[in-house]
Amino acid sequence: MNRWTLTFHGHRQLKATDKSAAILWLLFSLVSEKDGKTGARLGQDHIFWTEVTLSRDLAERPGWKELSDEDVRKAMFRAAQESIQEVGRKLRQTPLFWTPQSPLAGGPPWDLASVRFPAPHAITFEIADDGSASGQGAREGAGLGA
């Protein structure tokens, strides 16, 4: 298991579209604990934007439509954090949309009062050492080899 640190650096709110009620770009860095301890300089391998979109359908449902703009951004931020932790690598997109089985169907499943946004603490988590953080597992799965 490798330990990684996910740090938030900034965000941009984009205009809504026909399909999305809200679009948020979040700037993160994802650094291994080893690189973090050595003070390695953050580069393009570490820093990335994640686009979080909230579908109009979900935004108009109970539990979502009552939220303030600030709470919507907090929910979108928390969803991105959890998605990155779950997959253990950089993510370019995190769509939030309605499905009957979705944990998001009745509103955000997080206590939004406890979500620190836009000034959160960095979070540290473990990733299984299977090459997924570097993208090697995806390359091998696509037949591109080592």
Q: What are the tens digits of pLDDT across the range 10-31?
A: 999 999 999 999 999 999 999 9
Position 8 pLDDT exceeds 70: yes
In a domain, 146, yes or no: no
Q: Which domain holds residue 131?
A: 2-141
In a domain, 6, yes or no: yes
Average pLDDT (36-64) is 88
In a domain, 115, yes or no: yes
pLDDT of residue 29: 93
**Tally of domains in the chain:** 1
Prediction pTM value: 0.82
In a domain, 105, yes or no: yes
Per-residue three-class SS string for the chain? CEEEEEEEEEEEEECCCCCEEEEEEEEEEEEEHHHHHHCCCCCCCCEEEEEEEEEHHHHCCCCCCCCCHHHHHHHHHHHHHHHHHHHCCCCCEEEECCCCCCCCCCCCCCCHHHCCCCCCCCEEEEECCCCCCCCHHHHHHCCCCC
- Tell which wins on pLDDT, 82 or 145: 82
pLDDT of residue 139: 44
pLDDT of residue 43: 79
